Structure 1
Amino acid sequence: MSDPEGSDVHEYASPPCFLHELEPGFRQEMVRADTWNNVSRWRKAERRRLIAERMAVEADERTLRSSRLADRLDEAIGEVSEQIVSSYWPFRGEPDLRNWAIRVIERGGRIALPLVIKKDAPLEFRIWVPGDPLERGVWNILVPSHGPAVLPDIVIAPVVGFDAANYRLGHGGGFFDRTLASMPRMPRRIGIGFASARIPTIYPQPHDVPMDMIVTD
């Protein structure tokens, strides 16, 4: 993510990548007193750990968890008719909501997929229906090859990690935070991920935009 840098440097007995092993109360105070650089290093280490755990889940188990999560997402969203819902193409073991997205379309909703236009710019959302041409975008993720940009009513944001305050730890590009902060009207924001991705805190910064809720399996 594109984030501010701190100026005061403090040194501690434990390096930032091991902050998650400390007692929570002490850890929070320590990170608040430290620079963004240390928080950023901690996030990178935590991101690697969580993605590795997610990738280690067997395919059948991931499918089962994704199905449970989709059912809970239906309960959380409710009526989708005439709403534009931003979903995503799964990446690196993320919950697979592609079948769920098709059901949204069958119930009268519209699905949009996010794509990166350029670095440090907000995402663009394009309407997608099964059969529309897709192309490989950033990180080799499939995105709609053409179509007008739309403003979603609901944004489904996959998480690498999340905390009790509904802040999400993403892949580090800052795209969702940047996009949400730039929207003319704030959509309903739902983070989704497996329950195992919950952590005590992501040490939210001023640029982090919390979700309205987190839905898990």
Structure 2
Amino acid sequence: MVSDHLSKAQIRIERLASRDALSVEERQSKSLEISTKGADALTPAAGTIVSGFLPIRSEADLRPLMDGLRKKRARICLPVILDRETIVFREFAKGAELVKTGFGTTGPDENAAVLDPQILLVPLSAFDANGHRIGYGAGHYDRAIARLHAKGLNPTLIGIAFDCQEVPSVPAEAHDVALDAVLTESGIRFFRCRTAE
């Protein structure tokens, strides 16, 4: 287990190494568990905009979960990195062609509608039992969440991770926005008195 005094960068390196150590078969199996449990737990109203993501490196594969939410008539979007600072969320229509969108990701092209998600499924390096997360260090999601808040929007933030990415404590800073919940292969855990609508 990671000790409490490590820096965010050290925790990120350790937890990503732990995630990378999962075999392809383990990742596939755990990803299916995440998708199944997420589809059971999340009941968005028809038309709710949900931002997912396509896996890079050793991330969980959320495609089955996004398909399940689409069947519940949620509108799915994916993050697209416009420049080093900015991500937007483009609608991911069924069968849409995907293009390279930066930071190793793929997503819909510039013809797709830009949406403001009501639920964000957020990739991360590490998380703790208080809902604090460590991202990948570029701050893309922090800035995207800040922009949504500046528009008066308050999306539900659900971290996506494997159980092996949990740590005893994340060194949170004043500007850090805590997750509302985390979804792992063990299921969904809410940190605040809020549900994903």
Q: Which has the higher strand share?
A: 2
In the alignment, structure 1 residue 50 sits paired with structure 2 residue 18: no
What's the CA shift string for 1:39-87, capped at 9, x where partnerless?
7xx2222212211221221111111111111122123322342211100
Q: Give the structure-1-normalised TM-score.
A: 0.77
Measure how far apart 1:107 and its partner are: 2.2
Residue in 2 that maps onto 1:204: 172
Measure how far apart 1:98 and its partner are: 0.8
For 2:69 and 2:43, the matched residues in 1 are separated by 11
Q: Which has the higher helix share?
A: 1
**SS of aligned partner of 1:73:** helix
Which contiguous aligned blocks of 4+ residues in structure 1 show a shift greater than 3 angstroms? none
Unaligned runs of 5+ in 2: 186-197
Q: Does the 8 Å contact 1:51/1:92 carry over to 2?
A: no
Which structure ranks higher in relative contact order (CA pairs < 8 Å, sequence separation ≥ 6)? 2
Q: Does the 8 Å contact 1:86/1:152 carry over to 2?
A: yes
Unaligned runs of 5+ in 1: 1-19, 28-38
**SS of aligned partner of 1:104:** helix
Q: Give the structure-2-normalised TM-score.
A: 0.85
Residue in 2 that maps onto 1:64: 29
For 1:107 and 1:78, the matched residues in 2 are separated by 8
**SS of aligned partner of 2:130:** coil
If you compute each CA radius of gyration, which structure gives the higher value, 1 or 2? 1
Residue in 2 that maps onto 1:148: 113
Percent identity of paired positions between Structure 1 and Structure 2: 28
In the alignment, structure 1 residue 164 sits paired with structure 2 residue 123: no
Number of residue equivalences: 180
What's the CA shift string for 1:101-123, capped at 9, x where partnerless?
122212211110011112223x2
Q: Does the 8 Å contact 2:82/2:101 carry over to 1?
A: no
**SS of aligned partner of 1:78:** coil
